């Protein structure tokens, strides 16, 4: 990453309704990590009625304004919040913000690796925004197998070099 460009962390859907015993391990580290970036964007999923999630998957959770849609961590004061009713966080408000900051690379972490994270990473890649996936700070609320499967898919579609650890040497190289 160029030294002149700001570093951006996108935290996907770390919401009360998605935190389970399988995903709770990412909450505190992400709350701390947000301060190491120039900018941080938090995304929140909500499930309006009607929606394809309700109609096709019979998933009625995460109703707008329900307590389960609240963030499970405390965002820093100047954090940007983006809510959306779809898997991907790659929406017009997010793209406008990245363009305003002049950003072409982002670090991504959050819940659920197999849904919002995977779809957002693929969308960013297709828009020529380099996604760096912080594997250890992504999780599935369902089970570790779903997380691992999504990591394998992302490794194939964006390249294994873009799947990194938040504490590993790859993260230091990517952030320098």
Nearest to 27 by CA among 40, 11, 12, 14: 14
Q: CA 154 to CA 77: how far, in whole Å?
A: 31
139 sits in which H/E element: strand 130-139
The mean pLDDT value of the chain amounts to 94
Instruction: Find where tokens 């999780």 sit.
Output: 139
pLDDT digits (tens, 9 = 90+) for 126-150: 999 999 999 999 999 999 999 999 9
pLDDT digits (tens, 9 = 90+) for 38-51: 999 999 999 999 99
Which structural domains are found in the chain, ordered by start?
8-174 (3.40.50.850)
Count of helices and strands (H, E) across the chain: 6, 6
Specify the pLDDT at position 3: 52
Q: What is the pTM of this model?
A: 0.93
- Written as tens digits, the pLDDT of the chain (176 aa) is 445 788 999 999 999 999 999 999 999 999 999 999 999 999 999 999 999 999 999 999 999 999 999 999 999 999 999 999 999 999 999 999 999 999 999 999 999 999 999 999 999 999 999 999 999 999 999 999 999 999 999 999 999 999 999 987 666 656 66
Quick check: 45 and 85 in contact, CB under 8 A? yes
């Amino acid at each position: 990453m160029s030294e002149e460009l700001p570093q951006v962390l996108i935290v996907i859907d770390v919401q009360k309704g998605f935190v389970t015993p399988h995903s709770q391990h990412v909450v505190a580290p992400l709350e701390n990590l947000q301060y190491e970036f120039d900018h941080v964007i938090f995304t929140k999923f909500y499930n309006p009625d009607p929606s394809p999630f309700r109609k096709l998957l019979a998933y009625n959770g995460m109703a707008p304004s329900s307590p389960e849609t609240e963030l499970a961590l405390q965002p820093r004061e100047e954090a940007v919040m983006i809510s959306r009713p779809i898997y991907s966080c790659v929406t017009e408000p997010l793209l406008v913000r990245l363009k305003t900051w002049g950003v072409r690379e982002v670090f991504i972490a959050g819940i659920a690796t197999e849904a919002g994270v995977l779809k957002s990473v693929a969308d960013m890649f297709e828009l020529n925004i380099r996604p760096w996936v912080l594997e250890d700070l992504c999780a599935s609320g369902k089970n570790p197998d779903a997380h691992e499967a999504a990591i394998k898919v992302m490794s194939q579609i964006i390249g294994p070099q873009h799947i990194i650890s938040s504490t590993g040497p790859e993260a230091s190289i990517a952030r320098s």
